[in-house]
Amino acid sequence: MAEKDNNKFGLKDFLQIAVIFLIAMGIYYALFTFVLSNDTVSGISMQPNFENGERVIAVRHAKIERGDVVIVNAPDEPGAEYIKRVIGMPGDKIVSKNNQIYINGKKISQPWLTKGFKLTDNEDGFTGTKYSQTQNFTISSLAKTANYKKYYTSAQLKEMQKTNRVPKGTYFVMGDHRSVSKDSRYIGTIAKKNIIGVVKLRYWPLNKIQVY
């Protein structure tokens, strides 16, 4: 009789499983609220390195370095998130000329653009343009555009025009699909508080798993 009782699934067992489940869910929630961010790539602005529908994990509060791929809160579309690459750090002087980026007077390596120069757009308005085609600009010239006037004060615009520097505490981000990407050339630099995290892993699709 005692053996039969031991095989019963009782209330105590149920409560133990429920507690373990709740703890696991709590850990998962905390992990993806305060440490990690699970995101889906939307759009074509990071082609050919990241495609629409791919899934990535970003680390929140990670150190941000030039070349990092980041998830950011979109300044022009409340509630939306963009995936972009960090090109300019706070205080950097930026000059783009003939598809090359010069930071503080020195040309930077952009290996993430190599594939794009071999691919040609077939999007309306961009047909025939190479993915990696980048227009000429400086921070000073961007600060004179109507787009920048939406995001900065007159004092900030004057400072950028004068110094050609990325404003303090912000980052200049761009998409790898330069010809179509809506990025810091149009929506301004991104404040550190609006950078959700640095992408460290692509886990979907399975045949493209990659650690960054």
From CA 52, how far away is CA 55, in angstroms rounded?
A: 9
- Of 3-7, 42-46, 173-177, minimum mean pLDDT range: 3-7
Task: Dig out the tokens for 183 from the structure.
Answer: 């990025």
- The answer to whether 115 touches 49, Cβ cutoff 8 Å, is yes
Average pLDDT of span 58-86:
97
Q: Which residue has the tokens 């520097």?
A: 165
- For residue 195, what are its two tokens? 């950078």
* Residue 192 falls in the annotated catalytic set: no
- Rounded CA-CA distance 149/153 in Å is 7
Calculate the alpha carbon distances from 128 to 100, 141, 176, 185 in Å. Answer: 20, 26, 17, 21
Average pLDDT for residues 51-58, to the nearest whole number? Answer: 98
Active-site residue, 182 included: no
Kindly name the residue from 4, 42, 63, 84 that is annotated as catalytic: 84
pLDDT of residue 1: 43
Give the model's confidence band at 124: pLDDT under 50 very low, under 70 low, under 90 confident, else very high. Answer: confident
Q: What is the mean pLDDT of residues 190-198?
A: 98
Q: Does 4 have pLDDT greater than 70? A: no
pLDDT band of 105, cuts 50, 70, 90: very high
Tokens at residue 168, please?
């303090």
CB–CB of 204/116 below 8 Å?
no
- 82 beta partners: 72
DSSP state of 8: S
pLDDT band at 8 (very low <50, low <70, confident <90, very high): low
CA distances from 93 to 105, 139, 165 (A): 8, 7, 4
**Active-site residue identified among 4, 42, 45, 97:** 45
